[in-house]
Amino acid sequence: MNFRISFEEAIHPELVAELEKSVTYASAKLRSFRVTADGRGAEVECEQGARAEVTDKVGKLVGAMLRSFRSLGEPEEIARRTRRDSLPIESDAFAELEKRKWVRVLGRGQVSLAGGAYALRRFLDEAVRDVAKTRFSAEDEDHPALLDTEVLVRCGYFRSFPHSVCFASHFVEDFDAIESFRAANAESDTLAVPEPSALTHSDAVLRPAVCLPVYRELEGASLPPGGITITTSGKAFRYESRNMAGLKRLWDFSMREIVFVGSAEDVEGQRTRMIEAVTSLMDAWDLGGRLVAASDPFFATVRGAKALWQRSRAAKYEMMVEAGPEAIAAGSINFAGTLFGDAFGIRTNEGEIATTACVGFGLERLVLALFSQHGFARERWPGVLREVVFG
Amino acid sequence: MNFRISFEEAIHPELVAELEKSVTYASAKLRSFRVTADGRGAEVECEQGARAEVTDKVGKLVGAMLRSFRSLGEPEEIARRTRRDSLPIESDAFAELEKRKWVRVLGRGQVSLAGGAYALRRFLDEAVRDVAKTRFSAEDEDHPALLDTEVLVRCGYFRSFPHSVCFASHFVEDFDAIESFRAANAESDTLAVPEPSALTHSDAVLRPAVCLPVYRELEGASLPPGGITITTSGKAFRYESRNMAGLKRLWDFSMREIVFVGSAEDVEGQRTRMIEAVTSLMDAWDLGGRLVAASDPFFATVRGAKALWQRSRAAKYEMMVEAGPEAIAAGSINFAGTLFGDAFGIRTNEGEIATTACVGFGLERLVLALFSQHGFARERWPGVLREVVFG
């Protein structure tokens, strides 16, 4: 059923997109939600009979977001890059990738990569790894995709992003509970969970970013002079409800990060080199876009977390690149201040709490942006990528 | 508390190790369980006051395992390889890897890899990929680590391995439930889940093997003449309770697989080449061990699944390699018959249900076996790996 709700005050234009994305978590019975042009209401579609419940839950979510909102104005532009390739952006590169079987949707937010798309993702990952090793002397490491739940507790993640967390739940050791689950599923053609309480959620989560295990690994460490730089890559997981679509927003996605851990001077001293590294990669890949000081510093909708974030002098630059009709964030530089140093007791050589920053790339989003910007004709692609994608 | 239980009949020697491993799932209150030398009983340690409960649950599990057990005799040896390196096996390579910070334990069954250990894992992965591409003309692909729950339902996994499955659970869209979770965790320093029913387990699981998304991806396909071969690599997940230890048994581990899908003739015709590929890799890495026809064909303890497996003419060869005091399975060749072809409606070019087989390598186990067999002195390592590990 369709209906309209009104807001007491108009939604600030800066908040509209964020609100439309977040409201999906308000109720499983909500089907769509679009803020009206004047910002004073929204067109809502929900399951039959759920109007009262949906109105109530959406109202609470909108209220919470309005209370924590603070306009930051136009985001400051740090750098801008125009493509050499002057042909128009592909409006639906994902559809063409699907047609070639270079991507296949296997489930909600679950996409497999093959052919030119997978070859490109591998190449991009290696290219960033190479920059990390040669320009930042980073150590290359690999971590589990599972993360002790406690790691997220300690950095305040459950105060901020509970809606997107994925718990790795499993049966508690118990013959009777496991046997009754087995029996219930012996002949069933859908999953049956007769006793949800037999499952535990407490010991592990799926990491929502690949840098998090690095801070856990450095727990209690005293860093060498100059700090350390680590690069790592792999799958990260965020449940994004109805917002999951194509390669733009996956439940299970790939990231390469470069993580800087050291004194405030060490890490802030690298700031210019981090910006240069990101823009020089955009140049190598002929990727058009902007690096902007993000108006949405990590913990956007949560007042307490935002304050914490600001106290720790965090900042975020986002790499916004064109991919079809809109720009997407395919990379970022994140200054976390002493947030992680504090949470994990990491100290500099001088005994101060360590400062951290990271440069991260969303590899599937980069793949999508590059196919959007260079299409499917070999000659449009920059030389360094041509062979990789088309063989 | 410690006590002893007796069995009505002696445990067959072939079953002892499997039973000691499986019994850990019987009760969370069980601390240790060891079958006596004569097989007629077991020494048990459990939490104070839990003797009656533990005895009951362990008894049921032992009963179920005895009922489904069928002796297969000594496993048939397919191939055997002796190391050129004649120095003794390292008794605890993991401890030395930890000392060098080439491995670090981040949580239960969660180990990070760095330095020589990570470089070696990357190399092994690439070496198998190279064999897949050059000797089997395999396509290289990548899949999500999340898998639609339905995929496991369809291939009968929940009838067989419920104890080791990990569900990716997340909050159902609901403002009130998410908000109450957020509030409960705002000031808590451990995880609080006030309403477990607000979490869903039904939509996705973590893949227990990296080949499973391949069958899902080929759902309903008609294969080209000669069938197809795919290689893929990444993290897989099995909750192994108290059996998780070091690099030998991880919750979150890395696998490289080569998957064969075609007619029975196509796939069985490749059998000799698969065995050759595994033994030639062992040779390149100077890895001592045996390839044996496994006495434990996949669904070991479940009568129904075992029958299904046997009907579909499945077989399994395991690559057993020395790693410290015992041999571990670090690779396998699995003939699944028409099990997956049936479950996903995959047909050959002639319209028959497809047959599948896969060659899989457990990369962390290979890393452990190689450090166990060649130690930490550069000159003991085969030339092809020396540079990789020691730079």
* Contact flag A173-B30 (C-beta cutoff 8 Å): yes
CA distance A235 to B111: 15
| Cα-based distances in Å from A314 to A268, A336, A345, A356, B273 | 11, 5, 18, 9, 56
pLDDT at A53 over 80: yes
| Cα-based distances in Å from B65 to A199, A281, B59, B299 | 23, 57, 10, 12
With CA atoms as reference, the chain A residue closest to B55 would be: A175
Report angle CA A345, A347, A349 to the nearest 5 degrees: 165
Size of interface A-B (CB pairs under 8 A): 278
pLDDT at A72 over 90: no
Q: How confident is the model at residue B295 (pLDDT cuts 50, 70, 90)?
A: low
Name chain A contacts of B22, Cβ cutoff 8 Å. Answer: none
What's the confidence (pLDDT) of residue A18?
83
* Contact flag B174-A57 (C-beta cutoff 8 Å): yes
- Quick one: DSSP state of residue B335? E
Are A373 and A288 contacting, i.e. CB atoms less than 8 angstroms apart?
A: yes
What's the confidence (pLDDT) of residue B300?
38
pLDDT at B93 over 70: yes
Supply the Cα-derived Rg of chain B in whole angstroms.
22
Name chain A contacts of B145, Cβ cutoff 8 Å. Answer: 145, 235, 237, 252
H or E stretch at A153: helix A149-154
What single letter denotes the amino acid at residue A195? E
Q: How confident is the model at residue B75 (pLDDT cuts 50, 70, 90)?
A: confident
With CA atoms as reference, the chain B residue closest to A152 would be: B191
Percentage of the residues of chain B whose pLDDT score is greater than 70: 94
CA distance B12 to B14: 5
* Chain A nearest CA to B105, separation (Å): 8
Strand partners, A171: A199
Six-digit token string for A358: 């990271």
pLDDT at B83 over 70: yes
What single letter denotes the amino acid at residue A138? A
Phi, psi (5° rounding) for residue A298? Answer: 70, -75
Name chain A contacts of B50, Cβ cutoff 8 Å. Answer: none
CA distance B314 to B334: 7
* Contact flag A146-B252 (C-beta cutoff 8 Å): yes
Task: Report, as an integer, the average pLDDT of A56-80.
Answer: 84
* Contact flag B191-A159 (C-beta cutoff 8 Å): no
| Cα-based distances in Å from B388 to B103, B115, B120, B132, B378 | 16, 10, 6, 21, 10
Alpha helices, DSSP H, located in chain B: 13-22, 51-68, 93-99, 115-136, 149-154, 175-186, 212-217, 264-269, 271-284, 303-311, 339-344, 363-374, 383-390
DSSP B21-56: HHGGGTBTTEEEEEE-TTSSEEEEEE-TT-HHHHHH
* Contact flag B181-A162 (C-beta cutoff 8 Å): yes
Task: Report, as an integer, the average pLDDT of A368-374.
Answer: 98
Identify the residue whose tokens are 């136009």. Answer: A74
| B residues 124..163 contacting A (CB < 8 A) | 139-150, 153-154, 158-159, 162-163
Identify the residue whose tokens are 């062992």. Answer: B282
Task: Tell which CATH architecture fits domain B77-161+207-390.
Answer: 2-Layer Sandwich (3.30)
Six-digit token string for A373: 């910007």
Task: Report, as an integer, the average pLDDT of B298-323.
Answer: 64
Nearest to B159 among A110, A186, A250 (CB): A186
Strand partners, B112: B104
Interface check for B250 against chain A (CB to CB < 8 A): the answer is yes
Name chain A contacts of B304, Cβ cutoff 8 Å. Answer: 186
Q: How confident is the model at residue B136 (pLDDT cuts 50, 70, 90)?
A: very high
| Cα-based distances in Å from B287 to B59, B82, B273, B369, B372 | 40, 7, 19, 8, 10
Task: Report, as an integer, the average pLDDT of A81-88.
Answer: 94
Strand partners, A231: A140, A258
* Chain B nearest CA to A80, separation (Å): 32
The hierarchical CATH code for the domain B2-68 is 3.30.70
Q: In whole numbers, what is the pLDDT of chain A averaged over residues?
A: 91
Strand partners, B360: B257, B332
* Contact flag B173-A148 (C-beta cutoff 8 Å): no
With CA atoms as reference, the chain B residue closest to A252 would be: B144
Write the burial class of residue B258 (CB in 10 Å: 0-12 exposed, 13-18 middle, 19+ buried): buried
How would you classify the pairing of strands A355-362 and A252-262? antiparallel
| A152 Cβ neighbours under 8 A, 6+ residues apart | A158, A165, A205, A208, A212
pLDDT at A154 over 60: yes
Interface check for B77 against chain A (CB to CB < 8 A): the answer is no
* Chain B nearest CA to A371, separation (Å): 18
Q: What is the pLDDT of residues B192-239, one digit of tens each?
A: 888 888 999 999 999 999 999 999 999 999 999 999 999 999 999 999
Are B94 and B246 contacting, i.e. CB atoms less than 8 angstroms apart?
A: yes
- Residue spans of the domains in chain A: they are 2-68, 77-161+207-390, 169-200
Question: Beta-carbon neighbour count of residue A119 at 10 Å?
Answer: 20
Task: Report, as an integer, the average pLDDT of B11-27.
Answer: 89
Nearest to A118 among B118, B140, B197 (CB): B140
Are A246 and A240 contacting, i.e. CB atoms less than 8 angstroms apart?
A: no
CA distance B223 to B173: 40
What's the confidence (pLDDT) of residue B299?
38
Phi, psi (5° rounding) for residue B296? Answer: -125, 75
| A246 Cβ neighbours under 8 A, 6+ residues apart | A94, A111, A368
Report angle CA B51, B300, B162 to the nearest 5 degrees: 65
Interface check for A115 against chain B (CB to CB < 8 A): the answer is yes
pLDDT at A181 over 50: yes
CA distance A16 to A66: 11
**Which range, of A199-213, B77-91, B189-203, averages the lowest pLDDT?**
B189-203
Q: What is the pLDDT of residues B349-390, one digit of tens each?
A: 999 999 999 999 999 999 999 999 999 999 999 999 999 999
pLDDT at B302 over 70: no
What's the confidence (pLDDT) of residue A297?
42
* Contact flag A175-B26 (C-beta cutoff 8 Å): yes
What single letter denotes the amino acid at residue A89? I
Interface check for A164 against chain B (CB to CB < 8 A): the answer is yes
What's the confidence (pLDDT) of residue B310?
52
Six-digit token string for A220: 């209690």
Name chain A contacts of B67, Cβ cutoff 8 Å. Answer: none
What's the confidence (pLDDT) of residue B305?
52
* Contact flag B106-A217 (C-beta cutoff 8 Å): yes
What's the confidence (pLDDT) of residue A17?
87
Q: How confident is the model at residue B298 (pLDDT cuts 50, 70, 90)?
A: very low
Question: Beta-carbon neighbour count of residue B330 at 10 Å?
Answer: 26
What's the confidence (pLDDT) of residue A67?
80
* Contact flag A162-B185 (C-beta cutoff 8 Å): yes
| B residues 252..271 contacting A (CB < 8 A) | 252, 254
* Contact flag A173-B27 (C-beta cutoff 8 Å): yes
Name chain B contacts of A172, Cβ cutoff 8 Å. Answer: 28
* Chain A nearest CA to B223, separation (Å): 14
Question: Beta-carbon neighbour count of residue B280 at 10 Å?
Answer: 12
Nearest to A257 by CA among A336, A373, A349, A345: A336
Higher pLDDT, B57 or B300: B57
Nearest to A157 by CA among A18, A311, A21, A340: A340
Are B286 and B382 contacting, i.e. CB atoms less than 8 angstroms apart?
A: yes
Name chain B contacts of A108, Cβ cutoff 8 Å. Answer: 148, 203-204
How would you classify the pairing of strands A2-6 and A167-171? unpaired
DSSP A271-297: HHHHHHHHHHHHHHTT--EEEEE-SS-
Strand partners, B333: B317, B359
